[in-house]
Amino acid sequence: NFPSCRTLPPFGMLPNLQQLVLRRMGSITRINARDLSCSKNNRLKCTIDDMPSLEEFNTTYIRGDKKSTFSAIEELVVQKCPLVRFGSLPPRARRLVISECDRGMNFLGEKQDEHKEGPSCTSAPLTELVVKSCSMPLDQWSLLNHLSTLPSLTIENCSLYDLCFSGSDDNNSRPEYLGYLTSLQELKIVSCEDVRYPTPLQWLIQKLTSLKSLHFIDCKELWELPEDLGDLTSLQKLAFE
């Protein structure tokens, strides 16, 4: 509740900071990741909440003329920031939660090129990504393009039909970015609408052939499993809760 604050202080000067909450600061339009955590702090849990004017979370870590190596923070939660998008690199956090951020999954960085060297194709150290209450179609979740090593994805409180069918008219291209999650081993679908077969459920799983664990939690419209489930030859755990 600091409506006149336009620039955040350098919280990274606090080497032992473990919890940081930024909430309802209506004049903040840009946050620099390097100002939140110092190079030796890997325990920080940061929440950015209800920031309606925040447009960019700049993820480039630069000190002076050189790019610095910053430890990944423990958790980054970004919620109720409808305009925010991430900068040139994926956030360096072990756990990332994006909630009620209409543009948050649409990444500002360049498309990943496995033949290109440099920070634009550096994978984030994410071990868990949680996406809640997202209305952006899956064909615009370009952030996934940079998370090829992501092991766990949770999609919560979303309409799967809107995710899969609100974008391109070409059905085969809609879940394109899911195909970049080549290391994904766990997928959780939680309290989502329209979880039913044959569509849109088949679009979610047909490209995730490395899955070992698949959870459906509080999905009341799921009555039948897709035949494509048989293509998940690595699957070890299937849970309905």
This prediction's pTM = 0.86
pLDDT tens digits along 197-208: 555 677 677 778
Q: What is the DSSP string of 17-73?
A: --EEEEE--TT--EEEGGGT--TT----EEEEE--TT--EEE---EETTEE---PPE
In this prediction, the residues of the chain whose per-residue pLDDT falls under 50 are 64-65, 111-123, 171-173
Nearest one of 148, 97, 154, 152 to 127, comparing CA atoms? 152
